[in-house]
């Protein structure tokens, strides 16, 4: 697996497997199958509600000798908290306990709301204590990322943001490179929105190499130097999505993909009032 070196020297796999929206009863099996298919980066979050099942899939793969813990790169995320500086340490311990792990390879501030500075101080302390190998942010727009880097001693290793052919984040990637923050793509397939998997431009590009649309999209992210997380519950698609290291997109292909950029989220804007309202409600429900 191709790796990327983060700004603190930690190396991570460039392609990973995400477990968002996988039904609880299918998560452990999906994680196990993904590891069996060759994925080493596994991405979950406390708010997904499946940290336990993700940990079970990991444990089974380790117990069966498919991988060692050191060969895996496991990520979870801190959801919005009203008092993160006080509660984050406990939340991190809870994630570790729930997943049955001694440390996480990456831990992210999941959403750009609330006292992200207090959360960060707690995460820096946990990193120093050896519980988190890398720490980062998620869903921060470039302006907020720059402010965050400027006002903290420790620069985030990662910003996990939406990147896909409809929302390519070309300028955002340049800003992140300037500040040494690695971009990690969520929803690389835009969850299939705008008929991604049947898009004629992407299909035509893939045809030249005997590759599918999904493979073209993930290869495009690899060539851009972005870490990508793909999700599938189907072993045949897991295998398809990881089979992207034996071809190269040409400059012409990349220009054709560039022309697809709509420069807006295929989902929602994190600054939209109704969206922030939705997140505040989610926080209240989880803190109950």
Instruction: Judge contact between 116 and 151, C-beta under 8 A.
Output: no
By Cβ distance, which residue is nearest to ligand NAP? 18
Complex with ligand NAP: residue 197 or 245, whichever CB lies closer: 197
Q: What is the full DSSP assignment across 14-53?
A: SEEEE-TT--HHHHHHHHHHHHHHT--EEE--GGGT-HHH
Taking the C-alpha atoms of residue 219 and residue 243, their distance in angstroms, rounded to an integer, is 9
Q: Which of 13, 18, 112, 136 forms a contact with ligand NAP (CB under 6 A)?
A: 18
In sequence order, the β-bridge partners of residue 41 are 16, 73
Complex with ligand NAP: residue 27 or 127, whichever CB lies closer: 27
Site string for ligand NAP, 59-98 (x = CB under 6 A): ----------------------------------------
Q: How far is the CB of 57 from ligand NAP (least distance, A)?
A: 14
15-23, 56-64, 244-252, 253-261 -> range binding ligand NAP (CB under 6 A): 15-23
Q: What is the full DSSP assignment across 57-90?
A: HHHHHHHTTS--GGG-EEEEEEPP-SSHHHHHHH
Complex with ligand NAP: residue 18 or 253, whichever CB lies closer: 18
- Looking at residue 46, what DSSP letter applies? G
Q: How far is the CB of 65 from ligand NAP (least distance, A)?
A: 26
Instruction: Judge contact between 158 and 181, C-beta under 8 A.
Output: yes
Instruction: Judge contact between 12 and 44, C-beta under 8 A.
Output: no
Q: Is 48 considered catalytic here?
A: yes
In sequence order, the β-bridge partners of residue 135 are 107
The conformational region for residue 191 under phi > 0 = left, psi -120 to 50 = alpha, else beta, is left
Is 51 one of the binding residues for ligand NAP (CB under 6 A)?
Answer: no
Q: What are phi and psi of 10, to 5 degrees?
A: -70, 135
Q: What are phi and psi of 185, to 5 degrees?
A: -90, 125
According to CB under 6 A, which residues from 166 to 225 bind ligand NAP? 186-192, 197, 212, 214
Nearest to 275 by CA among 117, 109, 80: 80
Q: Which two tokens stand for residue 35?
A: 């590891």
According to CB under 6 A, which residues from 226 to 245 bind ligand NAP? 229-234, 237, 240-241
Which is the catalytic residue, given 20, 32, 39, 48? Answer: 48
Q: How far is the CB of 76 from ligand NAP (least distance, A)?
A: 10
Taking the C-alpha atoms of residue 54 and residue 30, their distance in angstroms, rounded to an integer, is 9
Complex with ligand NAP: residue 88 or 187, whichever CB lies closer: 187
Going by their DSSP bridges, the two strands 11-13 and 3-5 should be labelled as antiparallel
Q: How far is the CB of 27 from ligand NAP (least distance, A)?
A: 11
Q: How far is the CB of 64 from ligand NAP (least distance, A)?
A: 23
Complex with ligand NAP: residue 162 or 253, whichever CB lies closer: 162
Complex with ligand NAP: residue 54 or 127, whichever CB lies closer: 54
According to CB under 6 A, which residues from 122 to 141 bind ligand NAP? 138-139
Q: Catalogue the active-site residues.
A: 48
Q: Which residues bind ligand NAP (CB under 6 A)?
A: 18-21, 43, 138-139, 160, 186-192, 197, 212, 214, 229-234, 237, 240-241
């Amino acid at each position: 697996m191709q790796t990327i070196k983060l700004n603190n020297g930690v190396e991570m796999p460039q392609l990973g497997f995400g477990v968002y929206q996988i039904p609880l009863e299918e998560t452990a099996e999906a994680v196990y199958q993904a590891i069996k298919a060759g994925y080493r980066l596994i991405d979950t979050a406390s708010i997904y509600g499946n940290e336990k099942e993700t940990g079970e899939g990991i444990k089974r793969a380790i117990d069966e000798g498919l991988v060692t813990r050191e060969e895996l790169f496991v990520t979870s995320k801190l959801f919005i908290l009203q008092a993160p500086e006080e509660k984050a340490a406990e939340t991190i311990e809870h994630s570790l306990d729930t997943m049955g792990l001694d440390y996480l390879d990456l831990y992210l501030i999941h959403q750009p709301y609330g006292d992200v500075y207090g959360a960060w101080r707690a995460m820096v302390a946990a990193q120093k204590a050896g519980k988190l190998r890398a720490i980062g942010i998620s869903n921060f727009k470039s302006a907020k990322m720059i402010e965050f880097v400027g006002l903290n001693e420790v620069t985030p290793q990662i910003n996990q943001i939406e990147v896909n052919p409809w929302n390519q984040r070309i300028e955002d990637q340049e800003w992140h490179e300037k500040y040494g923050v690695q971009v990690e793509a969520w929803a690389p397939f835009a969850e299939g929105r705008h008929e991604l998997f049947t898009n004629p431009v992407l299909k035509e590009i893939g045809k030249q190499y005997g590759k599918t649309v999904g493979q073209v999209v993930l290869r495009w992210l690899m060539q851009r130097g972005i870490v990508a997380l793909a999700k599938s519950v189907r072993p045949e698609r897991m295998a398809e999505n990881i089979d992207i290291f034996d071809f190269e997109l040409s400059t012409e292909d990349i220009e054709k993909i560039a022309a697809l950029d709509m420069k807006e989220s295929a989902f929602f804007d994190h600054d939209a009032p109704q969206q922030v309202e939705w997140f505040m409600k989610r926080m209240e429900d989880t803190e109950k």
